Structure 1
Amino acid sequence: MSIQHFPPPPGVKAPPLSFGARVGDLLFISGIPGFDANRGLPDSFEAQFANVVTNFKRVLGEAGATMRDLVKVNVLLTRASDVATMNVLYAGAFGPAPYPARTTCVVVALPDPKMLIEIEGVAQVKG
């Protein structure tokens, strides 16, 4: 079975990874942080979350999938105080129910000290 990779968009400075990799009908999406298209990182949690969702939708779309095709997501937060806000934003972005299975972890740090959130996921891609 072959693997289809989804690299960062041209001109986007990123670590050595694929944003997504598809094997069969499964799409594995790398941890997506809250960077904007210019690799800027907003100060607010809400703006970083919005960027994560935008980037998630782009990777899913390139693979022929949507947010409704997500099966499992892992959310990493650097502040426990953002969990309630994340749940509200998450419901709007990943809903309506049923939602994908989810794990939420609060971590000490992410690769950039200004990163407040990172989300990774697995989607089932039809066709």
Structure 2
Amino acid sequence: MIEKIETGIAPSSAPISDAVRSGKHVWLVAIAEDPTTGEIVDGGIQAQARRCIQNLEIAVRAAGGTLANLVMVQIFLVDSADAAGMNAVYREFFTVQPYPVRATVVVKELLAKGLLIEMTGTAVID
């Protein structure tokens, strides 16, 4: 059985969930969208990476966990030159081992105009 987790982040008009649970497993997705305004944040890759991780955190907390419950993070970047800036922000949030397994992929573009990064995560929460 799959349960949608209400986080208040995903736009209600889109046919998506930003977090779902099946048993102890929770799948999350986050873009660099301000949850109060619905706008993509300005300020380049570091601002967008920070907002993505903050949105992952909002979603995982809505599921009853913390960032420490993440076992896998997937990162999609539009420009490989942004990897260093993204990594600097990532290190601010993930400071304790074991770190989540991570895959970073460079893509041609992301759906929302101005979006430089998107993240998905998998968490295990008792």
SS at match of 2:53: helix
What are the within-5 Å matches in structure 2 for residues 44-83 of structure 1? 44-83=44-83
Tell me how many residue pairs correspond in the alignment.
124
Displacement of 1:11 in angstroms is 9.2
Identical counterparts, % of pairs: 29
What runs of 5+ residues in structure 1 fail to find an aligned partner? none
What are the within-5 Å matches in structure 2 for residues 13-92 of structure 1? 13=12, 15-30=14-29, 32-37=30-35, 38-43=37-42, 44-92=44-92
Runs of 4+ in 1 over 4 A off after TM superposition: 10-14
SS at match of 1:114: coil
Provide Cα deviations, 1:73-118, integer angstroms capped at 9, x if missing partner.
1000001111011112111112222210010001000001300000
Contact 1:8-1:14 within 8 A present in 2 as well: no
RMSD: 1.8
2:112 alignment counterpart: 112
- 1: CA distance, partners of 2:120 / 2:89: 16
What is the TM-score when the length of structure 1 is the normalising length?
0.89
Give the residue type in structure 2 aligned to 1:24: G
SS at match of 1:15: coil
What runs of 5+ residues in structure 2 fail to find an aligned partner? none
Provide Cα deviations, 1:24-50, integer angstroms capped at 9, x if missing partner.
0000113x1101121111232111112
SS at match of 2:73: strand
SS at match of 2:115: coil
Displacement of 1:7 in angstroms is 3.9
Contact 1:45-1:117 within 8 A present in 2 as well: yes
SS at match of 2:90: helix
